Amino acid sequence: MSAHAHAMPARVLMFQKASAPVSVSTTDLEGRLSLAAPGDTVKGVLCNAALSAVGRVLDPSAADSCRAASGERRFIDFFNYPIASFLRLSFTAAELSRSKLGGLDAAFRTLGKQAVDDFLSTAAGKTLRSLGNSNPHRLLATLPSAYRTALNHGERHIQLAAEGRCVLKMRRDFLPHPYHEGVLAALLSSLGLGVAQVIGRRVGVLDADYEITWE
C-alpha cells in the first residue's frame, strides 16, 4: 500500500507463547463478507490461481463450481474484481479440497502458494523476485507495495528485525491467515533461502501478524 505501507524501525517482536494459532472456520466467510465494501477489490490473477489450484488438486468440474460460487463468468488476470467474489471462490475451493489436503488451513495454504507461482510468472512478479535474489531483506521490505498491486485494500507494514527474521503486520486484509502463510512461504522458497518458516497469528477478524524466519 504505497500511501500507508512503509518499513518500520527494526525491532524484535515476540509472540505470546500461550496463544495458539486460530484455525480457519467455514463460518469465517460471512463475517468477512459483512465487512467488505463495494470498492474492495482483488486482481483476477489471484482468482485464476485459486481456480488452477483446485482444478489440479481435484478436477476441472470443481474449478467450475468455485467460479460459479464467485458469481463471475470469468477472470482476466489484471482486471479488478470484488473481494467478495474472491472470498466466495476461495472458501468454496478450500472446502472442496480440505479432505484431500488435510483441512481448511492446509487448503488455504495451497491456494496461497499457487497465487505466488502464478504471480511470479508475470512481469511484476519477475521484477519482485529479482529484487530478492541478492538481498532477501530488500525483497521483504517491498512486500507492502507488492501486495498493493493485487489487493487495493488493507494496510501492511514490515518490521525488519535480526538477520533471517522479520514480522509482517496486516490490517483489514480479507484473506484468512493460512492463505498468506502459503504466499509468504512460497515466496521465500522461490528465492532458494533454505529452511523457511511463516507463523501467522490472527489478532482480529481481518487482522494478523506473521513472523517470518529463514536460514
Q: What is the pLDDT of residue 204?
A: 93
As a whole number, the mean pLDDT across the chain is 85
Q: From CA 107, how far away is CA 53, in angstroms rounded? A: 9
Q: What confidence tier does 21 reach under pLDDT thresholds 50, 70, 90?
A: low
Q: What is the pLDDT of residue 153?
A: 96
Give the ranges where the chain is alpha helix by DSSP (H).
28-35, 44-57, 60-70, 83-101, 104-119, 123-132, 136-141, 143-148, 177-190
Question: Cell 475451493 sits at which residue?
Answer: 93
Q: Does residue 6 have a pLDDT over 90?
A: no
Which of the residue ranges 23-32, 118-127, 198-207 would you say has the lowest mean pLDDT?
118-127
Burial of 195 (0-12, 13-18, 19+ CB in 10 A): exposed
Beta bridge partners of 154: none
Q: Does residue 8 have a pLDDT over 90?
A: no
CATH number for 7-16+29-214: choose from 3.40.30.10, 3.40.50.620, 3.40.50.2300, 3.90.1520.10: 3.90.1520.10
Q: Could you tell me which of 115, 129, 21, 24 has the C-alpha nearest to residue 77?
A: 115
